A and B are shown apart, each in its own frame.
Chain A
Amino acid sequence: MLKSRKEPGDVIIGLEVHVQLNKLNSKLFCGCSPKYHDAEPNTHTCPVCLGLPGALPVLNEGAVVDAVKVALALNCKIEERTLFYRKNYYYLDLPKGFQISQYDYPIAIDGKISVNGTGGGERHIRIRRVHIEEDPARLVHKGPIECSRYSLIDYNRSGVALIEVVTEPDLRSPKEAREFLNVLRNILEYLDVFDESLEGALRVDANISLAGGTRTEVKNISSYRGVEKALLFEIVRQKNLVRRGIKITQETRHYDEKRGVTISLRTKEEEQDYRYFPEPDLVPLGVCNRIDDIRESLPELPDTKRQRFVQQYGISEYHAKVLTSELRLSNFFETVASEIDPILSATWIADVLKGELNYRGLGISAFPPKHMIQILQILRGKNITEKSAVQVIRTILDRGGEPADIIKQKGLIKVEESTIAKAVAEAIKENPAAVQDCRNGKNEALHFLMGQVMKKTHGRADPNIVNKLLKEKLQCT
């Protein structure tokens, strides 16, 4: 493990990650559905989540179980007694004038997870706390945030269960912050507590400073992809100020995703202004007696699965890491590996298919595992070349279709050895100079002749056979 020592020029980043528990059936304190994404505005509300007078919150047990799952997966210590507080601030997205959150007694503290450090090696990122809170409503601004004159409010999101994961300031680069979020997102996906594809599922506030300098808080980074960009922008901004001798002011800045810049929000609220006080309508929570049951219900987590893949399938550490980086991808691999040699499967899925998916911005769900099995079976039967197999994968991703049909339509079945032999004889006859060079031991000439044969066979000849036949004919080694 590399020490998280602070050196001059270093950047220091701490994250507050808000995760929507959007797989729950109901909101945190009321029976409204949290599935607001396709809903008409203001159709998922009730007196509790609209903050009407006299309405009383009652805690969703499922949210507590989910929060404990996450805390355990992040290696946190679950607190014996945990309390809800009112966090007071006046904003349109909070119908009650306060947000029910946790403060002095969060549900869990002192966790850690390891990520790949920027300079190679593993870095342990400490988790300060995990707490439960309610999501504010969604505001719809007319135009950009700093010049809109009024806001429209959709309270469907008001009261949706969130957990907030707060790290210590242990991250040393925007890339590391992104890597941390990838690891966290992957764990959350394995735990089946959230669906990251939903808008707003994961939102990040980042504290950032140059070593020894004043820190700023960048709020409202609404995608994990935006984090690296927002942090890079903020570091450059701070460095420019330092270079020009201007003092960095401690402030909250808003990240404008569309323009890729951070903007000062000129807020004067500070921690003490939130006037936290215990929420009198909710009783204390003590979940220690349930930890063992919840721990036993935890699914296999990415780290454990990665180790199992290496042991059970004999695949490389690198392939195991890639294949476990997404739950669906790991399931895909296991389906294919149950039919096909696991090492061959790992190579084709992690190196080829994943690359083709990334290139197209697609997820693994875009490719049926049965197609991968079919392609690898045909490839293993030496009926198509590796190059053709890649072509089949690309065609399925771009246009769809069945592997067998695509192979037939594109004429990808490997050519017979007799056909290759004919092409070899032609190539030798047409290129006497190259033949001479080849006999004189020039390797490039052999490659040239191979290329000629491949051309004549439309790339469908097995390169090994071409190589073998050419060498036999030319009697060169």
Chain B
Amino acid sequence: MITKRDVEHIGWLARIKLTEEEKSKFTEQFNSILDYFERLDEVDPDVPPAHNISGLVNVFRADVVRGSMSRDDALDNAPKKEGEFFKGPRVV
């Protein structure tokens, strides 16, 4: 059961400010998603967890330099920049 306090905490983890209206809306939505997932309780719990479904192991690349993007390209999509840097709000 997801409470309004859980939603507030998740909002804080994502650094998103939520209005009171959004908080109750999301509480309801989270709970309906969880209800949906309850169906998984019907599955036999003895099945080992599948961490990866590809069946592959040990996919590597050799330790070689492949070159990087130009700084202009890298900064091109940044919503905020300052000189040669990306710029963002201070987060604590």
Contact = CB atoms under 8 A, between A and B. Distances in A.
Q: Which of B52, B62, B64 has the most CB of A within 10 A?
A: B52
Interface string A254-280: 000000000001111100010000101
Contact of B69 (A24, A25, A46, A141): A46
Interface in A46-82: 46-47, 50, 52, 58-64
B68 interface: yes
Contacts of B83: 152
B87 A153 contact: yes
Given A26-B64, A60-B63, A269-B13, A150 B88 contact: yes
B86 to A, nearest CB: 4
A274 to B, nearest CB: 9
Nearest to B55: A283
Interface residues of A, number: 55
A33 B82 CA distance: 23
B74 A45 contact: yes
B92 A42 contact: no
Nearest to B62: A61
B45 interface: no
Given A46-B68, A50-B74, A155-B74, A92 B63 contact: no
B88 A92 contact: yes
Contact of A33 (B65, B69, B77, B92): B65
Interface string B52-92: 10101111111111111111001101000011111111111
Contact of A42 (B12, B52, B71, B89): B71
A152 B9 CA distance: 27
A89 B13 CA distance: 7
Nearest to B88: A92
Interface residues of B, number: 38
A283 B56 contact: yes
Contacts of A134: none
A26 B65 contact: yes
B90 A42 contact: no
Contacts of A146: 92
B61 A150 contact: no
Interface string A10-45: 000000000000001110001111000000111111
Given A32-B65, A42-B75, A151 B14 contact: no
A394 to B, nearest CB: 44
Nearest to B75: A42
Interface string B1-44: 00000000100111100000000000000000000000000000
A403 to B, nearest CB: 43
Given A42-B71, A286-B58, A148 B66 contact: no
Nearest to A283: B56
Given A90-B14, A151-B87, A58 B60 contact: yes
A168 B8 CA distance: 35
Contacts of A25: 63-65
Contacts of A43: 68, 70-71, 74
Contacts of B54: 283
Contacts of B51: 83, 278, 284
Contact of B58 (A91, A153, A285): A285
Given A89-B13, A284-B52, A153 B65 contact: no
Contacts of B70: 43
Given A42-B74, A83-B51, A155-B74, A58 B90 contact: no
B90 to A, nearest CB: 5
A191 B86 CA distance: 36
Contacts of A91: 91
A278 B63 contact: no
Contacts of B57: 283-286
Contacts of B59: 58-59, 282-283
Nearest to B72: A42
Contacts of B77: 52
B13 A151 contact: no
A154 interface: yes
Interface in A273-302: 273, 278, 280, 282-287
A149 interface: yes
Contacts of A61: 60-63
A43 B51 CA distance: 35
A140 interface: yes
B29 to A, nearest CB: 18
Interface of A: 24-26, 30-33, 40-47, 50, 52, 58-64, 83, 88-92, 140-141, 146, 148-155, 265-269, 273, 278, 280, 282-287
The 8 A-B residue pairs whose C-beta atoms are closest, nearest first, are A31-B66, A62-B63, A152-B85, A61-B60, A153-B86, A283-B56, A58-B61, A92-B88
